[in-house]
Amino acid sequence: MKPIIEIDHVSRIFGGRIVAVDDVRLDIAEGEFITLLGPSGCGKTTLLRMLAGFELPDRGAIRLDGQDVTHLPPYRRDVNMVFQDYALFPHLTIARNVAFGLERLRLERADITRKVDETLQLVGLADKADRMPHQLSGGQRQRVALARAIIRRPRVLLLDEPLSALDANLREAMQVELKHLHRKLGLTFVMVTHDQTEALVMSDRIVVMHNGRVAQAGTPSELYDRPASTYVANFVGTSNLLKGVVSDVSKSAITVDHAGFKFECPPLRSVAPGQHVIVGIRPEKLQITGLVNGVAPPANALDCEVEERHFHGNSIRLRCRLSSGEPLLCDQQLGTTGALKAAPAKGERIRLAADADSLALFTEDDRA
């Protein structure tokens, strides 16, 4: 399928020195919900603003539906944006805010009224049409910003940290609502966020950005289960990262030694014996197999001592320390009554094991 947006080797350099976006190449498919994820300063917002036309790339091209829009001003692009702090016009009523994008289309007044009503209905604010923005709550203003941006049914809807100003409960509800709206309208959504949970919940595809570059792009589960680098592994979810040395490479597994423990990782990378690598293990993939006994641990098992227990409601996080001195996190689900009592106590020495499939292997140069 032909992509709706093609970002073709785009760079943006501020003041001739600060590289905000560095040679990004990305295709966005029609109807996709794609999220640009990364910490502040990673270039995600600059990239979004270039799609909207507020920033012009210093190099590269942006195509919208096959047409080169690289240097088109914002008002001539068929995209609309939901701004981070909503950017509602304070001197206009909600209805006129929402109708703002229609004024240039020279529609009949009745048509405008009907469209505004429909759109306000869609975001559940039909009764607020005559209010002023400052009379609404944060969540309501968020919906107005959304209504204003979708009333023209743009080819692409851009969302700049749309939920960051809302409190936790409202944010979760809006995540679901945005997802529903995406399905209902069938528009392409491009969202920017620094919140990994938000990205995982809402996106069809996530683009993790780092220092102006794309660190990895993929579906949420791809990113979570097969992070391409330690950076992604740490930014999307949490990972235990243990340094080790490759001791053996075979067709079925790569064997890595870490301070007397042995990992047998799936052979997904080309490494040579003696090479320094990093093994990544998600805290929830570690199972407690028993207490430490005299027997040497088998492959993919770790002996450690519980230092702290953190109660998270539906799970408990054990902060452990390996005999090598490395810290290790382990999450245990509390699915059944009594599970909390059964969890290892502070100071207990336990053996943890992970499936070979759940291990991620990184080489040192992934670290970028």
Partner 1 sequence: MKGFRLDRLPGLAVLSAPLVWAVLFLFIPYLIIFTYSFWLKKYPTFIPAFQFGNYAQIFADPQYYQVLLRTGKIALMVTALSLLLAYPFAYFLVFKVKSSRVRSLLYMAVIAPLWVSYLLRAYIWKTILGSEGVLNSFLVWTGILSAPTDLLLYNQFSMVVTLTYIFIPFMVMPIFTALEKIPRNLVEAAGDLGVTPWGALAKVIWPLSLPGVIAGATFTFCLTFGDFIAPMLVGGPDGVMIANVITSQYGAALNWPLGSALAVVLLIIVLIIIELSDRLQRKDRIGLG
Residue 80 or residue 203: which is nearer to partner 1 going by CB? Answer: 80
Question: CA-CA distance, 191 to 51, in Å (whole number)?
Answer: 11
Residue 73 or residue 327: which is nearer to partner 1 going by CB? Answer: 73
Helices and strands in the chain: count of H runs, count of E runs: 9, 20
Question: CA-CA distance, 133 to 126, in Å (whole number)?
Answer: 14
Closest distance of CB 346 from partner 1, Å: 50
Site for partner 1 in 45-74 (CB under 8 A): 52-54, 73-74
Closest distance of CB 89 from partner 1, Å: 6
- Segment near partner 1 (CB under 8 A); pick from 64-72, 132-140, 195-203, 312-320: 132-140
For helices 138-150 and 109-122, give the axis angle rounded to 10 degrees.
130
SS3 state at 98: helix
Residue 85 or residue 167: which is nearer to partner 1 going by CB? Answer: 85
Residue 203 has φ and ψ, to the nearest 5°, of -90, 150
Site for partner 1 in 5-34 (CB under 8 A): none
Closest distance of CB 220 from partner 1, Å: 28
Closest distance of CB 148 from partner 1, Å: 7
Residue 52 or residue 228: which is nearer to partner 1 going by CB? Answer: 52
Closest distance of CB 19 from partner 1, Å: 20
Buried b (16+ CB within 10 A) or exposed e, 112-132: beebbeebbebbebeebbeeb
Residue 152 or residue 182: which is nearer to partner 1 going by CB? Answer: 152
The beta strand positions in 15-74, using DSSP E, are 18-29, 33-37, 59-64, 67-68
Mention every residue, 6+ apart, whose C-beta is less than 8 A from residue 186: 31
| Out of 134, 184, 251, 341, the residue judged to bind partner 1 by CB under 8 A | 134
Residue 148 or residue 282: which is nearer to partner 1 going by CB? Answer: 148
* Spatial contact of 197 and 35, defined as CB atoms under 8 Å apart: no
- Nearest alpha carbon to residue 228 among 252, 249, 210, 250: 210
Query: How far is C-alpha 109 from the geometric centre of its chain's CA atoms?
Result: 41
Closest distance of CB 130 from partner 1, Å: 14
SS3 state at 240: strand
Residue 136 or residue 265: which is nearer to partner 1 going by CB? Answer: 136
Closest distance of CB 142 from partner 1, Å: 14
HSE (side-chain half, CA atoms, 13 Å) at 340: 9
Site for partner 1 in 70-129 (CB under 8 A): 73-76, 79-81, 83-85, 87, 89-92, 100-101, 103-105
Closest distance of CB 140 from partner 1, Å: 15
Give the interface size with partner 1 as a residue count (CB under 8 A). 29
Q: Does residue number 138 form part of the binding site for partner 1 (CB under 8 A)?
A: no
Pair of tokens at residue 235: 């930014």
Residue 40 or residue 314: which is nearer to partner 1 going by CB? Answer: 40
Chain positions contacting partner 1, by CB under 8 A: 52-54, 73-76, 79-81, 83-85, 87, 89-92, 100-101, 103-105, 132-134, 148-149, 152
